[in-house]
Structure 1
């Protein structure tokens, strides 16, 4: 028997303008007005920036001004570089690169919504018919579930930072969501057009983050069809495999014809793919369970309850398909020897969809518990953000103000009335939302997650509006890059650098530092990066002798006393 019994009043959809406003409030903070963040964000921007200012060889051989980056795939970099060339002169190159991130977010969000909508209006997902009628129409039920899935997706804590970075993972998670949507349509009614679309999507995934994920999805879909006794669909899924190979093959063919920099990234790219698979280890398994609890909040409690509530209809497509996607990515995270957050990102779209089907079956007490947890925790977080900003602006409370200054030395606070008005308006809207939820106690399905999603969006908006100048001061390499540029000639030089990719990208962009390329040798300058917790003095690579080099500069970001960059000049013979 189906576990859902609902009146039509519980399936009132969110207003379209409300969903649109929530998505804008979610994605715009963090895209506008910030410097590239240290890590994958600055690294990916460096590849995009190099492509946008380079030749066809730079587009085929991803690198950061001479530092090869053959891992993952080139598709994200291509799209970001196109945005830089089209819009870089208008909004600035970092912001232009992040326009591609906004497009990826829209693709992922729309895919999650439509996949849930199609699953929710299927006959096996419908609520039980009421004795005297009044049950919701299939379209209304599907639309309400889709709204809930989107709210859960936006509320996932792990998506928050990653969805605003110019990294490969932002496109990967969107393509996975779109692939899930295509699978819903393909398993519902196989068509040649859908097979081609699925193959193209898997090919794009291969060019985004390697062939391991697409191959595992093909295997998982085949197992799912056998489990659901849909053997006819297996041939359609396998037919998508040769289509998926076309796009990577075109990239490899172009590399073979152009032969950029007299080399090819293909062997290193294949090696990176092979290293994504190993035997499960205690570290990879423990990492998943340790971090996925907060990473996938609030999706996983609702998703777990959905699997339990629908346990007697486990073969229904709205349960079995997202569960298969989830299991597939869990297995891949176990098999991957490296423990990193990017391995947890693919689980979010299927979890959000599963969680939506848990909403109609949850008891009121559980829903109220989630709501009160969201109200207390997120209101407290927003209050602390406001208190910290007041301390930054006024110097009170004294201890908190001193801590803020210590974490970003040299930061000079400034008051922006426009930013303050936006933050204040968002805070007032949050309290109105809480009042509406508590006073009216609406029976609509998405009431259980609207506070969680709204609170997360509020905290993110406050952090990336009130605190954005402070964050830029703390994590940006802009000041360091200008110091390095002052030590270098205006032109006709190169720097051989042994530093991280994000540092290389930031110094090249902010300081216009000319790093050694693929063919540059015997550079006049040498730059090293080291951690002073490990050693007081940087260790030169074995091919260099210290007596041949003169240290001319050492520096670091204002707050980071451990990381040290050192610049040497070759002594005249």
Structure 2
């Protein structure tokens, strides 16, 4: 990677990527200057905000903790690769480690905690984990393969049983728990998702029926298991998950309980600059305009709390509070500024 060819390839990639990256903001500015101005002020730097909302935060524990499950099994294989003799003499070692370190540093500085951001680490960890698969010991590969088949096989069986419970009421206990966690779900049968789910299940069984399994085959079987579980979730459980996790019911209940002054637009609704969940949910499903950073000038304020009984700030009173079904760590509160006496 220290060669002129690598430098030329890097320069060519940058020359191609920069114009492509400029397409979105230029198109947005041409289509709607007002929307471009909002994007520039709020989201121009991605997870770090915009020109008005730029923020940094040091939170390594959150991302390191979630990395354990998010990047499994890539990270243990990557650690095994890094521990092998002669690792640093390989041409791909330094770029992969630098990519991993740079991505971790960026994640640790992001103000918003979102496990999805860990996807930045998957390419270098996958590279480090894959390059030495062919020399992985047969015993380790066999155990890894068995563990993956057991985990994903049990998950697939549970998902099929859960689909029966939430749509047909059997088993009764599982159906009761299904309704408890997603009370807004309405049973619905669609042939197309069912056909996809039925096809994926036997295909996975055929894919993992290998007698001589080495490292490469074990990882392929793991990927096949993940594909099966993801396919079942996105076909059998998509409507159930949407009813349980969507912010739409919360936003609709809040706007139904909003004062007439908010609905008519005579008063503004303030949200904090770092309230990313509130801004995203109400921007997607709500009809009330949000005044980002307008706590000082707005009579009403929308916040996100981590406790249900969290007291209102001094000078404010609670008008409404709501949450998604069974949520214990996320509560949305509509506040009204009290008149000074």
Q: Which runs of 5+ in 2 are unaligned?
A: 30-35, 43-49
Aligned to 1:417: 191
Aligned to 1:450: 220
Is the contact made by 2:75 and 2:129 (CA closer than 8 Å) also made in structure 1?
yes
1:471 to partner: Cα distance: 1.1
Q: 1:191 to 1:516 in 2, by over 3 A?
A: closer
Aligned to 2:312: 539
1:382 to partner: Cα distance: 1.2
Aligned to 2:160: 386
Is the contact made by 1:375 and 1:434 (CA closer than 8 Å) also made in structure 2?
yes
Alignment partners' CA distance in 1, 2:217 and 2:269: 57
Residue-by-residue CA offset, 1:159-192 (whole Å, 9 max, x unaligned) = xxxxxxxxxxxxxxxxxxxxxxxxx5x7462555
Query: Equivalent residues in 2 for 1:160-559 (5 A)?
Result: 184=1, 187=3, 189-190=5-6, 192=8, 194-195=10-11, 197-198=13-14, 266=51, 269=54, 272-273=55-56, 275-276=57-58, 284=60, 290-309=65-84, 311-312=85-86, 314-330=88-104, 341=115, 344-435=118-209, 437-438=210-211, 441=212, 446-487=216-257, 491-498=264-271, 500-516=275-291, 523=298, 525-535=300-310, 538-540=311-313, 542=314, 544=315, 546=317, 551=319, 553-559=320-326
Aligned to 1:171: none
1:405 to partner: Cα distance: 1.0
Is the contact made by 1:389 and 1:467 (CA closer than 8 Å) also made in structure 2?
yes
1:527 to partner: Cα distance: 4.0
Residue-by-residue CA offset, 1:427-471 (whole Å, 9 max, x unaligned) = 111111122x23xx377x732311100101111111122111111
- Matched residue of 1:413: which SS? coil
Q: 1:383 to 1:187 in 2, by over 3 A?
A: farther
1:539 to partner: Cα distance: 0.9
The counterpart of 2:333, out of the listed 554, 559, 565, is 565
Residue-by-residue CA offset, 1:334-358 (whole Å, 9 max, x unaligned) = 7889976467443321121122211
Is the contact made by 1:382 and 1:462 (CA closer than 8 Å) also made in structure 2?
yes
Q: 1:513 to 1:405 in 2, by over 3 A?
A: same
Q: 1:192 to 1:415 in 2, by over 3 A?
A: closer
Q: 1:523 to 1:335 in 2, by over 3 A?
A: closer
Is the contact made by 1:407 and 1:559 (CA closer than 8 Å) also made in structure 2?
yes
Alignment partners' CA distance in 2, 1:460 and 1:322: 28
Alignment partners' CA distance in 2, 1:492 and 1:390: 47
Residue-by-residue CA offset, 1:211-263 (whole Å, 9 max, x unaligned) = xxxxxxxxxxxxxxxxxxxxxxxxxxxxxxxxxxxx9xxx9xxxxxx9989x8
Alignment partners' CA distance in 2, 1:517 and 1:327: 34
Q: 1:456 to 1:427 in 2, by over 3 A?
A: same
Tell me how many residue pairs correspond in the alignment.
Answer: 316
Q: 1:193 to 1:566 in 2, by over 3 A?
A: closer
TM-score by length of 2: 0.73
More helix by share: 1
Alignment partners' CA distance in 2, 1:502 and 1:296: 24
Question: Does 1 or 2 have the higher relative contact order (CA < 8 Å, sep 6+)?
Answer: 1
Is the contact made by 2:141 and 2:213 (CA closer than 8 Å) also made in structure 1?
no
